[in-house]
Amino acid sequence: MIRGLSRDVDARTAPFAWEPDEQGRPVLVGSRVTQCALSRICGACAASLGRPVAFVGDTDEVARNAFHAPPLHEECARGLAADSPELQVVLTAGFEFVRPVAGADDRRPTFQPNSLL
């Protein structure tokens, strides 16, 4: 789950890369996160991405410049962040999809913006 993305979701209202867990809280789906990265589609609406690309994250993710949530359209990112005041939106012209290395504590891939706007 993205910390801060706190609204309850169901299969009809969940953003593309998230699905509800047993309590209705949104959790990232690994295969969809990878699909967003490799196909350059939005993690919320699943439409093709243009520029700028947006990422949402908490202050730690912004400070590390490494996000667990997939790339988004700016409008989609602002919609997700509006539900959770602790989330910030970062805009970029491009990003790297970084898969975890063997033995890493955090086995989730990250997105690292490379041209912040």
* Residue 67 token pair: 């996000």
Q: Are 95 and 111 in contact (CB under 8 A)?
A: yes
Cβ-Cβ contacts under 8 Å for 17 (sequence gap 6 or more): 28, 29, 32, 33, 36, 43, 44, 69, 70
Q: Domain-by-domain residue ranges, the chain?
A: 18-113
- Model pTM score: 0.85
The alpha carbon of 111 is separated from its chain's Cα centroid by a whole number of angstroms, namely: 8
Beta strand 26-28 pairing with 110-113: unpaired
Q: Are 69 and 56 in contact (CB under 8 A)?
A: yes
From first to last of its 117 residues, the chain has per-residue pLDDT tens of 354 454 444 445 678 999 888 888 888 999 999 999 999 999 999 999 999 999 999 999 999 999 999 999 999 999 989 878 889 999 999 999 999 888 778 888 999 999 888
